[in-house]
Chain A
Amino acid sequence: MRSYLLHRLWQSAVTLVLATIVVFLGVRALPGDPALAFAGEERDPASLAAIRERLGLNDSLVVQYGKFVLGALRGDLGTSTRTGIPVSTMIGTGLPVTIELSLLALLVAIVLGVTTGVVAAVRRGRPAEWFANALALLGLSVPNFWLGLIAILYLAVGLGLFPASGFVPFGEDPVANLHHLVLPALVLGTGIAAIVMRQTRSAMLESLGADYIRTARAKGASPRAVIGRHALRNSLVVVVTVVGLQLGILISGAVVTERIFGLPGFGKMTIDAVFQRDYPVIQGVVLVTAAAYILINFLVDVAYSLIDPRIRVAGGQS
C-alpha cells in the first residue's frame, strides 16, 4: 500500500508542477504589459522600467517562474490590481463558502445517486427501475443553473420557502446558513447525482451478477446483507472514482450556482475578476483550484485503496 501511495503522490506532484507551469505561462500570454497595469497614470519610461525591475519582469522566464512558485509556496499570490487586497486574503474569504456549498452538493449527489442507483439495479425490470432511469436522464439533461433559476422563481420568490439569494456564515447562524444553502446544494447536487446514479447502477448490476454474491446467498445471508454488504461495498470503488472525476464539474457548477444565488464564494470572485481583468486574482484562483483538484484526486485514490484491498498490494495500477 505504501508503495502505491508513494507512486500516486509522485504522480500528483508531477501534475502539480506541470499545472503551475501552465498557469505561469498562461499569465505571461495575457495581452498587455503588466507594468502598465501597475503604473496606472504613470507613463514615464523611467518609472515604467523601475516597475518592470521591481516586478522582476527583466529576469529570465526560469527565474520568474522560480519566484512565482516560491511566492505561491509562502502563500503570496500577488495583489488584486482592482482592490489592492492580497489575492490570498480574497481566496481565504471566498473559499469556505465554496467548500461548504460543494460538500453539501456532494452529499446530495451521493445520497440521491447511490440510493436511486441501488434501487434501479435491485429492482431491475420493474417500474422503480424505469422511474430511477428517467430521473437520471432528466438530471443529466437539465442545465443546473436553469434549474436554479426556476427554483428561485417558484420556490424562493413564488412560495417564499427559501431565501432567493445571500449568505450567512455558519458561525454566525447555522440554521440560517443551511437555509440559504439548501437550494444551491440541491441544484448543484442533482446533476452529479445523475452521473453517480448511472455508475452505481451499472456497478451494482455487475456486482450482483458476481460469483461472490452467489456465495453470500448460499451462506444464507439476507437480501439486505447481500445487497448492502457484499454488492454495494464492491460497487463503492466505482462510485468513489466517479465522484473523484466529477470534481471538475462540481467546481464549475459551484461558480455558476454562486452567481445565481448571490453567494459570496470563490466562483463569484472568479467571474468578477475576469470582467475586471484582475489578472493576479485569476492566476491565484486557477492555481488554487488546480492544486485543490490534484489534492482531492490524490485523496480519492487513498480512499479507493482503503475500500479495495487489492489495490494496496498491487502497486502502481491506474
Chain B
Amino acid sequence: MTATEIVTPPAPDPGATPPRRRAALRRLRRSPLGIAGFAVLAVAVLASVLAPVLAPYSPAQVHFDAPFQIPGTVGFALGTDDLGRDVLSRILFGLRASLEVGVLAVALALVVGVPLGLAAGYFRALDAVISRFTDLMLAFPFLLLAVGLAAIRGPSLGNAALALGISQIPGMIRVVRSETFRLKNLDFVAASLVDGASDVWVLGRHVLPNALSAVIVQATVAIPQAIIGESVLSFLGLGIQPPDPSLGTMLADAQQYAAQAPWTAVVPGLAIMLVALAFNLFGDALRDALDPRSSR
C-alpha cells in the first residue's frame, strides 16, 4: 500500500505553510546586520569564484625583486610576502579554498547527520545506538581526526574537509534529533500517523520540512567553524599543502617574519574573520527570522 492513497488531507501543518516562510523572509530583510552579513558573503563568494579573473597575479608567482612590499604599493594593493608573492592574489585564492572546505565539510555533515538525526529522534530503538555513535565521534576532536587522517592518507584539502565534516556530524545529529523528537509529539504528526501514514512518509512530509529551519541555522553556524578549522589545519601543515594558497598556510609563513612584515599576518587573519563574522551575522539573523521567539 502506498502512503499517498491512504492519507486523507493531513492535519494543518504549521511549519510547512508558505506564509510562515514568507514572514521569515520579511523579518530577515528587516535585519540590517543580517543583510550586511549576506552582502559580505555574496562579495566573498563572488570574489573567490572570480579569483582567476580578479587576481592580478597567479597566487604562486614570485617576484624576487619585490619581497615585503607594503600594502598600497603600485601593483601590489595588499603588499607582498617574503618571496614577493602578491598578498591580494593569494587571499582571493585562499578564500576560495576556505569556502570550498567549509561547504564540503558541512555538506558531509548534512548528508550523514540529517538522516541519523531523524532516525535517532523518531525511532526510540535506534536512539541509544546513534547516541553512542555521537559520543564516540565527539571523543575525537577535529584536530585529532585530522592528525589521524593526515597520518593515514597524507595531508590534503580533501582530508581537511573530511576531518572537519566528521567533526560537524555530532552537532548536526543532535539538532535534528531534538527537532524530530519535538515534532514527533505534535498533534499534526500524530494525526497523520492515525490516518495510517507510514513512518517514512511522516518523516519526509511532516518532520523534515519542519526541522529544516533548525538544520539551516545549524549549517550557517557550522560553515564558519569549518572555515576557521581549515585555516587551523593548514596553519599546522595538516590541510592544504604549499604551494597551493590557503589563508592558514599564509599565516604559517607569516609567523616567521611577522615583525618585519606585519601585514602578511594581519590581512589573511582579517579575511578569515570577516567571512566567519559574515556567516555568523547572517546565521543569527536567519535564526531570529525563522523563530522570532528565540534570540541568540
- Where the two chains meet, the residues of A that have a C-beta atom closer than 8 Å to any C-beta of B are 11, 14-15, 18-19, 22, 26, 29-31, 133, 137-138, 140-143, 145-147, 149-150, 152-153, 157-158, 198, 201-202, 205, 245, 247-249, 251-252, 255-256, 259-260, 270-271, 274-275, 277, 279, 282, 285-286, 289-290, 293-294, 297, 318
Provide a sorted-by-A list of 16 A–B residue pairs whose CB atoms are within 8 angstroms: A18-B132, A29-B152, A140-B276, A142-B273, A143-B272, A145-B231, A202-B294, A251-B143, A252-B143, A256-B232, A271-B238, A274-B147, A282-B147, A285-B147, A289-B140, A297-B138
Complex contacts, B231 vs chain A, CB 8 Å: 143, 145-146
**A318's contact among B131, B232, B262, by CB below 8 Å, is which?**
B131
Complex contacts, B67 vs chain A, CB 8 Å: none
Are A14 and B132 in contact, CB atoms less than 8 angstroms apart? yes
With A29-B152, A146-B251 already in contact, the answer to whether A140 and B140 are too (CB < 8 A) is no
Report Cα–Cα, A100/B269, bound state, in Å.
27
Complex contacts, A260 vs chain B, CB 8 Å: 255
In this assembly, does B11 line the interface, its C-beta being within 8 Å of a C-beta of chain A? no
List residues 146-179 of chain B with CB under 8 A from any CB of chain A.
147-148, 150-152, 167
In this assembly, does B59 line the interface, its C-beta being within 8 Å of a C-beta of chain A? no
With A150-B269, A252-B142, A252-B232 already in contact, the answer to whether A15 and B136 are too (CB < 8 A) is yes
Complex contacts, B135 vs chain A, CB 8 Å: 11, 15, 294, 297
Are B144 and A137 in contact, CB atoms less than 8 angstroms apart? no
B98 to chain A, nearest CB (A): 11
Q: Which residue in chain A gives the minimum CB-CB distance to B141?
A: A248
Report Cα–Cα, A29/B152, bound state, in Å.
7
Are B136 and A19 in contact, CB atoms less than 8 angstroms apart? yes
Contact with A along B63-96 (1 / 0, CB 8 A): 0000000000000000000000000000000000
**B224's contact among A138, A140, A147, A157, by CB below 8 Å, is which?**
A140
In this assembly, does B28 line the interface, its C-beta being within 8 Å of a C-beta of chain A? no
Are B144 and A149 in contact, CB atoms less than 8 angstroms apart? no
The 4 closest A-B pairs by CB, nearest first: A252-B143, A146-B269, A248-B141, A141-B276
Are B136 and A141 in contact, CB atoms less than 8 angstroms apart? no
Instruction: Please give 19 more A-B residue pairs, beta carbons under 8 A apart, in addition to A15-B139, A141-B224, A297-B135.
Output: A11-B135, A14-B132, A141-B279, A142-B273, A143-B228, A143-B269, A143-B272, A146-B269, A149-B255, A149-B269, A150-B269, A248-B141, A248-B142, A251-B144, A256-B232, A271-B238, A282-B151, A290-B140, A293-B140
Report Cα–Cα, A279/B265, bound state, in Å.
33
B45 to chain A, nearest CB (A): 17
Q: Which residue in chain A gives the minimum CB-CB distance to B231?
A: A143
A14 to chain B, nearest CB (A): 6
B248 to chain A, nearest CB (A): 8
Q: Which residue in chain B gives the minimum CB-CB distance to A260?
A: B255
Report Cα–Cα, A215/B80, bound state, in Å.
64
In this assembly, does B115 line the interface, its C-beta being within 8 Å of a C-beta of chain A? no
Are A275 and B259 in contact, CB atoms less than 8 angstroms apart? no
Number of interface residues of B (CB under 8 A): 48
Q: Which residue in chain A gives the minimum CB-CB distance to B277?
A: A141
Are A274 and B151 in contact, CB atoms less than 8 angstroms apart? yes
What's the dominant secondary structure at chain B's contact region? Answer: helix
A149 to chain B, nearest CB (A): 5
Are B167 and A138 in contact, CB atoms less than 8 angstroms apart? no
In this assembly, does B296 line the interface, its C-beta being within 8 Å of a C-beta of chain A? yes
**B141's contact among A158, A252, A271, by CB below 8 Å, is which?**
A252
Q: Which residue in chain A gives the minimum CB-CB distance to B167?
A: A248
Are B132 and A15 in contact, CB atoms less than 8 angstroms apart? yes
With A18-B136, A137-B277, A142-B273 already in contact, the answer to whether A149 and B258 are too (CB < 8 A) is yes
Complex contacts, B143 vs chain A, CB 8 Å: 251-252, 255-256
Are A293 and B273 in contact, CB atoms less than 8 angstroms apart? no
Are B272 and A249 in contact, CB atoms less than 8 angstroms apart? no
Complex contacts, B236 vs chain A, CB 8 Å: 255-256, 259, 271
List residues 99-145 of chain B with CB under 8 A from any CB of chain A.
131-132, 135-136, 138-144
Report Cα–Cα, A282/B145, bound state, in Å.
11
Are A293 and B139 in contact, CB atoms less than 8 angstroms apart? yes
A266 to chain B, nearest CB (A): 11
Report Cα–Cα, A245/B266, bound state, in Å.
30
Are B265 and A153 in contact, CB atoms less than 8 angstroms apart? yes
Complex contacts, A318 vs chain B, CB 8 Å: 131
Complex contacts, A26 vs chain B, CB 8 Å: 148, 152
**A270's contact among B147, B167, B251, B269, by CB below 8 Å, is which?**
B147
In this assembly, does B207 line the interface, its C-beta being within 8 Å of a C-beta of chain A? no
Report Cα–Cα, A317/B279, bound state, in Å.
34
Are A143 and B280 in contact, CB atoms less than 8 angstroms apart? no
**A201's contact among B131, B147, B296, by CB below 8 Å, is which?**
B296
In this assembly, does B254 line the interface, its C-beta being within 8 Å of a C-beta of chain A? yes
Are A140 and B296 in contact, CB atoms less than 8 angstroms apart? no
With A26-B152, A145-B251, A286-B147 already in contact, the answer to whether A150 and B232 are too (CB < 8 A) is no
**B148's contact among A133, A205, A259, A286, by CB below 8 Å, is which?**
A286
Complex contacts, A293 vs chain B, CB 8 Å: 138-141
